[in-house]
């Protein structure tokens, strides 16, 4: 763990095994921190927040620092991608394409924000006397950040870059399942010149380290990415002292294919929207809503794409589908495939042999999943697509919105008017039209409904780490 500039073990001496999901081998271990380490890290983060070195650093120098971090990550891209692949299972070449660039870009993007966080002057009417009134945007303070295991490096980078751009300091708890790239990122950040104490990493399980962070009285804001049940728990626990909370939670995002869609594009996109990262993406297109006139062709096409996706360890250069993150996750996904069949859906998957060892799951379509079924409504978080048909535009919108989640939606449609009308009607934080998976540091990201509260990255993402203060000065004597 990193507390200040000290790399330390847990006081209890406890450690957690790190497993390679491609073969079940334990290849490392991490410290299992708890309340004592969280308390030490928060104290150090508070001290750093109040230090002249950080608080008085010129915005332009903070900007330069974040750019240095971006360069460091870029210089270690290959190593970070490999580490992510061993830890999480994902194909290394895809981590090179997605996870690492996302981390680089958010630091580079947020470096620009350091010099652009400003308030407004306010034309107050008051009682007729003359006032000078303005708002200040001030850093919120010490941020407790908690991230999941599906995109460990980029999720950590999103939170750290945004919080630091705003002038905050951070205590971050990575997922106990995938802490390695976060620890390496922290090491690189110290090398890049980030002052000790500005970023602290406490590894450990959610019930101990995570719980200690969300209840620590000196943490000003919790920025959480993870499951909806844990997000709700964090929101409840924040009620005691009205601690600021932002939540990026689960999803059950639809891919909607309209009758006029370009199927040469829509079919491979719909397949990758669910099968990429073995379906372990919060905004995965896990529900297919397809017009009845093209439904059979689309299902056959998606299965054909799946058949051509090599399944194997993430370190093999041609692997497109790596293992899921661990045994528990594989069992959960397999149980959902059974549930889908019991509910009356047809399970369609390629004939492919799975590698003998490791936590592999075949890409699977549950065709004919009804809108009442569990597989249509619950987040599975695996390469499993719940597919159903619709007959009218209104029905497509109704089905898209028939979810307690509202993270993303992919819409395939050539008619521009229909596409924009539907984009406005869909309850989701992001709607992609004739594309999918475009997640960019400039585009605020977050969810409607039970997919979360707040937006990360973009202008909204950096302002989320600030408090707005109105200042009003009387100018008349
Ligand atoms: P999770 O909620 O089990 O764990 C997420 C993090 O919370 C981990 O670091 C965990 O240790 C910690 N945690 C667990 N219990 C805690 C507690 N009581 N107090 C404090 N922290 C606690 O989620 P997961 O299984 O790691 O990740 C998968 C989930 O994350 C999915 O639901 C997925 O949709 C969601 N997710 C959302 C986004 C988004 O941006 N909306 C992005 C990625 C993942």
DSSP track, 56-86: TS-HHHHHHHHHHHHHHHHHTHHHHHHHHHH
Taking the C-alpha atoms of residue 419 and residue 1, their distance in angstroms, rounded to an integer, is 48
- Give residue 93 CA to ligand 1 midpoint distance, Å: 25
Determine whether the shortest distance from the Cβ of 312 to ligand 1 is under 6 A.
no
Q: Report pLDDT for 13.
A: 98
Of 408, 390, 338, the residue nearest 366 (C-alpha) = 338
Taking the C-alpha atoms of residue 31 and residue 180, their distance in angstroms, rounded to an integer, is 11
Determine whether the shortest distance from the Cβ of 325 to ligand 1 is under 6 A.
no
Q: Report pLDDT for 160.
A: 99
What is the torsional sign of CA 319, 321, 327, 331?
Answer: negative
* Residue 59 contacts residue 111 (beta carbons within 8 Å): no
Q: How far apart are the first and last CA of the chain?
A: 57
Residues in the chain, overall count: 477
Please count the CA atoms within 13 angstroms of the CA of 248 that sit on its side-chain side.
27
Q: What are 176-195's pLDDT values in tens digits? A: 999 999 999 999 999 999 99
User: Per the structure block, which two tokens stand in for 99?
Assistant: 């996870």
* Residue 317 contacts residue 16 (beta carbons within 8 Å): no
Determine whether the shortest distance from the Cβ of 397 to ligand 1 is under 6 A.
no
Mean pLDDT of 146-174: 98
- Give residue 26 CA to ligand 1 midpoint distance, Å: 23
Bridge partners for 138 per DSSP = 467
Determine whether the shortest distance from the Cβ of 158 to ligand 1 is under 6 A.
no
Taking the C-alpha atoms of residue 122 and residue 119, their distance in angstroms, rounded to an integer, is 9
Task: Name the percent of the chain lying above pLDDT 90.
Answer: 99
Taking the C-alpha atoms of residue 292 and residue 399, their distance in angstroms, rounded to an integer, is 14
Q: How confident is the model at residue 111 (pLDDT cuts 50, 70, 90)?
A: very high
In the chain, count of helices (H) and strands (E)? 17, 22
Mean pLDDT of 68-91: 98
Q: Report pLDDT for 333.
A: 98
What residue segments make up the domains of the chain, in order of their start? 2-249+451-473, 254-441
Determine whether the shortest distance from the Cβ of 172 to ligand 1 is under 6 A.
no
- Give residue 146 CA to ligand 1 midpoint distance, Å: 8
Mean pLDDT of 438-465: 98
Rounded to the nearest integer, the mean pLDDT of the chain is 98
DSSP 429: S
> Best mutation site among 153, 205, 215, 226 for ligand 1, i.e. most ligand atoms within 8 A of its Cβ?
226
Residue nearest to atom 16 of ligand 1 (CA): 206
Q: Report pLDDT for 103.
A: 98
Q: What CATH number has the domain spanning 2-249+451-473?
A: 3.40.605.10
**Over 90: is that where the pLDDT of 477 sits?**
no
Q: In sequence order, which residues have a C-beta less than 8 Å from that of residue 394 and are 6 or more positions away?
A: none
Residue nearest to atom 35 of ligand 1 (CA): 226
Mean pLDDT of 65-82: 98
Counting from 1 in the atom list of ligand 1, the atom nearest the Cα of 211 is 19
Counting from 1 in the atom list of ligand 1, the atom nearest the Cα of 452 is 41
Determine whether the shortest distance from the Cβ of 210 to ligand 1 is under 6 A.
yes
- Give residue 231 CA to ligand 1 midpoint distance, Å: 8
**Over 90: is that where the pLDDT of 116 sits?**
yes
* Residue 362 contacts residue 296 (beta carbons within 8 Å): no
Determine whether the shortest distance from the Cβ of 105 to ligand 1 is under 6 A.
no
The strands making up 384-390's β-sheet, listed across from edge to edge, are 346-348, 364-367, 384-390, 285-291, 253-257, 408-412, 430-433
Q: Report pLDDT for 280.
A: 98
* Residue 253 contacts residue 285 (beta carbons within 8 Å): yes
Of 210, 251, 249, 215, the residue nearest 232 (C-alpha) = 249
Determine whether the shortest distance from the Cβ of 450 to ligand 1 is under 6 A.
no
Whether residue 207 lies in the annotated active site:
no
Mean pLDDT of 372-397: 98
Determine whether the shortest distance from the Cβ of 237 to ligand 1 is under 6 A.
no
Instruction: Give the Cα-Cα-Cα angle 368, 264, 150 (nearest 5 degrees).
Output: 65
Q: Report pLDDT for 356.
A: 86
- Give residue 100 CA to ligand 1 midpoint distance, Å: 20
Q: What are 192-217's pLDDT values in tens digits? A: 999 999 999 999 999 999 999 999 99
Q: Report pLDDT for 451.
A: 98
- Give residue 227 CA to ligand 1 midpoint distance, Å: 4
Determine whether the shortest distance from the Cβ of 406 to ligand 1 is under 6 A.
no
CA distances for 300 relative to 62, 70, 271, angstroms = 52, 42, 11
Q: What are 3-51's pLDDT values in tens digits? A: 999 999 999 999 999 999 999 999 999 999 999 999 999 999 999 999 9
| Burial degree of 436 (CB within 10 A; 0-12, 13-18, 19+) | buried
Counting from 1 in the atom list of ligand 1, the atom nearest the Cα of 233 is 18
Determine whether the shortest distance from the Cβ of 211 to ligand 1 is under 6 A.
yes
> Best mutation site among 227, 284, 403 for ligand 1, i.e. most ligand atoms within 8 A of its Cβ?
227
**Over 90: is that where the pLDDT of 287 sits?**
yes
Mean pLDDT of 93-112: 98
Counting from 1 in the atom list of ligand 1, the atom nearest the Cα of 176 is 11
> Best mutation site among 151, 179, 206, 441 for ligand 1, i.e. most ligand atoms within 8 A of its Cβ?
206
- Give residue 163 CA to ligand 1 midpoint distance, Å: 19
Mean pLDDT of 340-349: 98
Which CATH superfamily does the domain covering 254-441 fall into? Aldehyde Dehydrogenase; Chain A, domain 2 (3.40.309.10)
- Give residue 113 CA to ligand 1 midpoint distance, Å: 27
Of 39, 45, 38, 75, the residue nearest 195 (C-alpha) = 45
- Give residue 182 CA to ligand 1 midpoint distance, Å: 15
- Catalytic residue (one of 37, 248, 393, 450): 248
Determine whether the shortest distance from the Cβ of 251 to ligand 1 is under 6 A.
yes
> Best mutation site among 106, 148, 336 for ligand 1, i.e. most ligand atoms within 8 A of its Cβ?
148
Q: Report pLDDT for 52.
A: 98
* Residue 40 contacts residue 62 (beta carbons within 8 Å): no
Q: What are 295-330's pLDDT values in tens digits? A: 999 999 999 999 999 999 999 999 999 999 999 999
């Amino acid at each position: 763990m990193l507390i200040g500039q000290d790399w330390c073990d847990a006081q209890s001496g406890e450690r957690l095994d790190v497993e390679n999901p491609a073969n079940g081998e334990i290849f490392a271990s991490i410290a299992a921190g708890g309340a004592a380490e969280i308390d030490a890290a928060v104290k150090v983060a508070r001290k750093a927040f109040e230090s002249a070195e950080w608080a008085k650093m010129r915005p332009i120098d903070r900007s330069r620092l974040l750019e240095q971090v971006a360069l460091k990550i870029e210089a270690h891209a290959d190593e970070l991608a490999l580490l992510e692949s061993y830890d999480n299972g994902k194909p290394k070449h895809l981590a090179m394409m997605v996870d690492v660039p996302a981390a680089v870009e958010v630091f580079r993007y947020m470096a620009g924000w350091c010099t652009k966080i400003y308030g407004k002057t306010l034309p107050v009417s008051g009682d007729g006397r003359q006032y000078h009134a303005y708002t200040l945007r001030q850093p919120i303070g010490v941020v407790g950040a908690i991230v999941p295991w599906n995109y460990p490096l980029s999720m950590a980078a999103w939170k750290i870059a945004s919080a630091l751009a705003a002038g905050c300091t951070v205590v971050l708890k990575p997922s106990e399942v995938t802490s390695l790239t976060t620890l390496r990122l922290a090491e690189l950040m110290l090398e890049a010149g980030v002052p000790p104490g500005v970023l602290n990493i406490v590894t450990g399980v959610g019930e101990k380290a995570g719980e200690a962070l969300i209840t620590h009285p000196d943490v000003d804001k919790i920025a959480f990415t993870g499951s909806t049940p844990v997000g709700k728990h964090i929101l409840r626990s924040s009620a005691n002292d009205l601690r600021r909370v932002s939540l990026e939670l689960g999803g059950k995002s639809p891919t909607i294919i309209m009758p006029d869609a370009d199927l040469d594009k829509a079919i491979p996109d719909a397949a990758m929207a669910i099968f990429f990262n073995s379906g372990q993406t919060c905004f995965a297109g896990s529900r297919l809503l397809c017009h009845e006139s093209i439904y059979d062709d689309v299902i056959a096409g998606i299965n054909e794409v799946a058949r051509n996706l090599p399944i194997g360890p993430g370190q093999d250069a041609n692997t497109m589908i790596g293992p899921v993150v661990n045994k528990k996750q594989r069992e959960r996904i397999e149980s959902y495939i059974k549930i889908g069949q019991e509910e009356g859906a047809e399970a369609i998957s390629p004939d492919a042999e799975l590698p003998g060892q490791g936590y592999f799951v075949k890409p699977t379509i549950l065709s004919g999943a009804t809108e009442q079924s569990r597989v249509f409504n619950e987040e599975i978080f695996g390469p499993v697509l719940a597919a159903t048909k619709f007959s009218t535009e209104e029905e497509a919108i109704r089905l898209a919105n028939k979810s307690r989640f509202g993270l993303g939606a992919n819409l395939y449609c050539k008619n521009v008017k229909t596409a924009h009308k539907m984009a406005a009607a869909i309850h989701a934080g992001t709607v992609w039209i004739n594309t999918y998976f475009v997640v960019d540091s400039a585009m605020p990201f977050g969810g409607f409904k039970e997919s979360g509260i707040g937006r990360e990255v973009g202008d909204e993402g950096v302002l989320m780490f600030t408090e707005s203060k109105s200042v009003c000065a009387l100018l008349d004597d």
